[in-house]
Structure 1
Amino acid sequence: MNGADVLAEVLLANDVTVCFANPGTSEMHFVAALDRKPELRCVLGLSEGVVTGAADGYARMTGRPAATLLHTGPGLANGLANLHNARRARTPMINIVGDHASYHLPLDAPLTTDIEGLAAPMSNWVRRVNGSLDVGPTAEAVYRASLSPPGVATMILPADAAWGEVATPSPSRKISIDAPRAPDPQTVRAVASAIRANPGRVAMVVGGTAARADALTIAGRIAIACDVRLFNEVLVAHTQRGLGRVAPVRIPYPIDLALEVLKDVDLLVLVGAPEPVAFFAYPGKPGRLVRDGCTVLTLAKHGEDLKGALEALHDELGVKRTQSLQLITPNGNEGYPVAQLTDDAVAVIVAHKIPENAVICEEAITSGRRFFALSAFAAPHDFISPTGGSIGDGIPLATGAAIGCPDRKVINLQADGSAMYTVQGLWTQAREHLDVTTIIFSNRTYAILHAEMRNVGVASIGTNAQRMLDLDNPPIDWVSLARGLGVEAAVATTCETFSTLLDAALSRHGPFLIEARV
């Protein structure tokens, strides 16, 4: 055996069964080792942003880390934007970054880079393998680091460590991961006391596993019994929504709307979520979204038992297990749209047609803002979205989610500008025959940047600015792009055509793209 074989065996022993890859010369020995381990599924991405984003989507939906295989520093750098999103989502991920043989590094060959320096800002843990005998211990450590607590962990694998022989390798073993930390009783009592002291002026923000259906049921009982408003984070990593479930309100992205939503909150309780803040500084506007004088308390943070903390708070507040819940029921007020297709019409039609147990991956940016509220009235489903503000994650997230959940329909609501960052992911969907329906909001502009120009006080946009914000000269032909990458596609300009195409896409297995010209 060589070091690469040892690495593959450690991954498999710990149920890491998928490797999203874009390898190069320095990774060929690990590629050969993967060839000897067919039970470790290899998925090729044509750009590293697809690789890292897909690993993120897979891990969010399975709770298990996938591995990525990246080629030296430049390959890692190409994937950093979606590693940033994964880090913000607190996603378990194992990055394997190949490097030159250790004795070749002093020669400063063209691909020589500071891999540690590149990896550190987007990783919770980084370590370089020190020879073939160190591959096994480092592989075990990177697995443990990816789950303790969940986050991005990166190991750097020099080529000579991969090809170096390991004469008597230790048998691979299952690594035990500590259970999440139990809730602190003193903290629970303090939060309960504060809630009682601020009747009608309390809000709670849930993130991480606190945004899953079982934990939301507990949070929902607290909300009804104690008059607490329930919120999701602005950017949602993973939540479960739909009919019969508790549906928190998402804090709006636009700063003025967010300030308005939180203006009368005297106590903000955080459960697995950070304090919400404005995405950017705006002239004359605050950075914090809660008003001055609002008390912010953390019930439990990432790495702790979030559901257990909610249960402890529930009991401390004396909420009854029989407390009625404000569950979502069908909404008869939203009429079915007809005629000209708009972004709102797409959101309404999709919300009507979501299959039960589907996975919704939303990177629609401006065009999809109404969808989250509408989705509360849809069939029960999982919802994931990019969490770090770095665009180009939607297609990769959907790709990884489909590999992690092969028996579930994945629907990707995708803005056209951000889709162009990682359009190569469609090829991976075609190659792996993934059950993903991609809906492109083809408004042919960076609509969010038009809004941001107004937010920073620019009243009118001239020719130069317009050329930086619009995508209509020439227009992007999404049907041709998709077909060129192996994905069947069609265009819709009316609500009726879009509805028919969506029915067809949802009734079949495999990738399909709808260009919704709005």
Structure 2
Amino acid sequence: MNGADVLCDVLLANDVTVCFANPGTSEMHFVAALDRKPEMRCVLGLFEGVVTGAADGYARMTERPAATLLHTGPGLANGLANMHNARRALSPMINIVGDHASYHLALDAPLTSDIESLAAPMSNWVGRVDGPADVGPAAKAAFRAAMTPPGIATLILPADAAWGEVGAVPPGKVKLAPPPAVDMNAVRKVAAAIRAAPGRAGMIVRGRAARADALEIAGQLSTACDVRLFSEVLIARMQRGRGRVAPTRIPYPVDAATALLRDIDVLVLVGAREPVAFFAYPGKPGRLVREGCQVLTLAGHGDDLQAALEALRDELGIKPSQQTVVATAFPDEATPSGKLTEDAIALSVARKLPADAIICDEAITSARRFFALSAFAAPHDYMMGTGGSIGGGIPMATGAAIACPGRKVINLEADGSGMYTVQGLWTQARENLDVVTIVFSNRTYAILHGEMRNVGVSAIGENARRMLDLDHPALDWVLLAKGMGVEAARAETCKRFDVLLDSALSRRGPFLIEAVL
């Protein structure tokens, strides 16, 4: 038995049963150990950003970590952008980064790098295995770090620690500490503030507070005490749809966000952070709440958010039978026709969404109406990239489909963002994942055109346009998808889009629709 076997056994003993991988020479002993463990599902990604993004999507849906397998410092570096998104989503993840044998590092071979320094900014915990005997304890420490509270753990595995022989080691299940008890002082402080600001209190829910059961409690608080419910700009995971409480999403544009929060005197955070502007803009505020707004934390990451909401409901004297306001019938709106538009796509997807589907939204500027419409769609889970790093959509959908094989996954994808990790389509084809990818093919970085206006640039010249547009040549998503093994078709009219969407939703397996705008 070698160190790589021990690492596999510890992972499996703690229900880490999926490994998203892009291995290299330093990881071959771990690959061989995985080959001896058929209980571990190994999923190849053709780029490390696909690997880490898929692990993020998997974790959001299962609430437990997958392992990733990355090749030395450069392999880790290729996966950092989607590790950043996963860290902002508070997703549990265990990255296993192979390294040279410990005695080889002094030779400064070409792939030698400072892995710890590369990993640290995007990880909540970084550890290096000291030798074969240390693999078991280090693996358990990585699992504990990934789960309490959930976050990114990066374990560096030198090749000689992987191939080194060790005696039989009982893998053992790691005992995790329960979440801390509800802070009743915080509960009483929040309750008093809500009572003192009737009609002028708001609450931002995130994490487990954005699941249906917890949203029901938040909705009771909202109805009984006139508290306005919000979600953050970027949503890690929220349960949406008919019959569920539907928080208002805080807008991305600074002016719209400050207008929404202008009359809030008390803002309560439940698993969330105070909202701030995405970027600094000349003459605009960084904080989105008005000066003098009291910002209070009811419970934070790692706390039992639903229990905190229940305690607040009790403190305010609200009965669990209190009715809530939930989304019901779909708005009476005519079916679009003619040339395909962004709004027509949003409306069609929301109306046709299958029950219990999973939406992975990286359409950026193109699907702005979908979130509001999703309140009236069939019950589903809704996820976005949370760190602002684009290229997470296709991998996130890939991981979500592996996590929930019985559920339809729909990826709303911007064309520019999709090109960052288009390789994820190949993984969807290889694993025969039930993902419908809808590419909003406007052939531009539309969000950057908006950002140019936001910083005061009214006219865009040729040099700027060449950095913001995706034409000459235009991307052909049908050919790109087919080259990756995914069936695909193009829609330029509302009617054609509806036909393709109906077909994709009626069958299993990956399918891509290029929606030309």
Contact 2:351 2:377 in 1 (8 A): yes
Q: Which residue of 2 aligns with 1:45?
A: 45
Q: Which residue of 2 aligns with 1:12?
A: 12
* Superposed CA offset, 1:472-501 (max 9, x none): 111000000000000000000000000000
Q: Which residue of 2 aligns with 1:468?
A: 467
Q: Which residue of 2 aligns with 1:180?
A: 179
Shift of 1:424: 0.0
Q: CA RMSD in A?
A: 0.6
The separation in 2 between residues aligned to 1:334 and 1:269, in whole angstroms, is: 35
The separation in 2 between residues aligned to 1:180 and 1:336, in whole angstroms, is: 48
Q: Which residue of 2 aligns with 1:162?
A: 162
* Secondary structure of 1:292 counterpart: coil
Shift of 1:209: 0.6
* Superposed CA offset, 1:409-455 (max 9, x none): 00000000000000000000000000000000000000000110011
Q: Which residue of 1 aligns with 2:129?
A: 129
Letter in 1 for 2:375: A
Shift of 1:335: 2.2
Q: Which residue of 2 aligns with 1:512?
A: 511
For these two proteins, the number of residue pairs brought into alignment is 517
* Superposed CA offset, 1:102-122 (max 9, x none): 000000000000000000000
Q: Which residue of 2 aligns with 1:237?
A: 236
The separation in 2 between residues aligned to 1:336 and 1:318, in whole angstroms, is: 45
Shift of 1:369: 1.2
The separation in 2 between residues aligned to 1:227 and 1:122, in whole angstroms, is: 39
Q: Which residue of 1 aligns with 2:227?
A: 228
* Superposed CA offset, 1:232-272 (max 9, x none): 11000001000000000110011111111111111100000
* Superposed CA offset, 1:80-117 (max 9, x none): 00000000000000000000000000000000000000
Contact 2:330 2:377 in 1 (8 A): no
Q: Which residue of 1 aligns with 2:484?
A: 485
The separation in 2 between residues aligned to 1:346 and 1:330, in whole angstroms, is: 19
* Superposed CA offset, 1:377-422 (max 9, x none): 0000001110000000000000000000000000000000000000
Shift of 1:331: 2.4
Which of structure 1's runs of 4+ aligned residues deviate more than 6 A?
none
* Secondary structure of 1:79 counterpart: helix
Letter in 2 for 1:64: R
Q: Which residue of 2 aligns with 1:2?
A: 2
Shift of 1:333: 2.6
The separation in 2 between residues aligned to 1:332 and 1:100, in whole angstroms, is: 60
Contact 2:347 2:373 in 1 (8 A): yes
Letter in 2 for 1:335: A
The separation in 2 between residues aligned to 1:250 and 1:66, in whole angstroms, is: 29
The separation in 1 between residues aligned to 2:367 and 2:116, in whole angstroms, is: 37
Shift of 1:169: 2.8
* Aligned sequence identity (%): 74
Q: Which residue of 2 aligns with 1:411?
A: 410
* Secondary structure of 1:204 counterpart: strand
Letter in 1 for 2:96: I
- The 5 Å alignment of 1:300-449 reads 300-449=299-448
Shift of 1:208: 0.8
* Superposed CA offset, 1:8-55 (max 9, x none): 000000000000000000000000000000110100000000000000
Q: What TM-score do the two structures reach when normalised by structure 2? A: 1.00
Q: Which residue of 2 aligns with 1:115?
A: 115
Shift of 1:332: 3.0
Letter in 2 for 1:145: A
The separation in 1 between residues aligned to 2:256 and 2:416, in whole angstroms, is: 24
Q: Which residue of 2 aligns with 1:502?
A: 501
The separation in 2 between residues aligned to 1:271 and 1:405, in whole angstroms, is: 27
Letter in 2 for 1:513: L
Q: Which residue of 2 aligns with 1:199?
A: 198
Gaps of 5+ in 2: none
The separation in 2 between residues aligned to 1:503 and 1:333, in whole angstroms, is: 21
**192-201 or 178-187, larger mean C-alpha shift:** 178-187
Shift of 1:170: 2.1
- The 5 Å alignment of 1:8-157 reads 8-157=8-157
* Secondary structure of 1:480 counterpart: helix
The separation in 1 between residues aligned to 2:189 and 2:349, in whole angstroms, is: 43
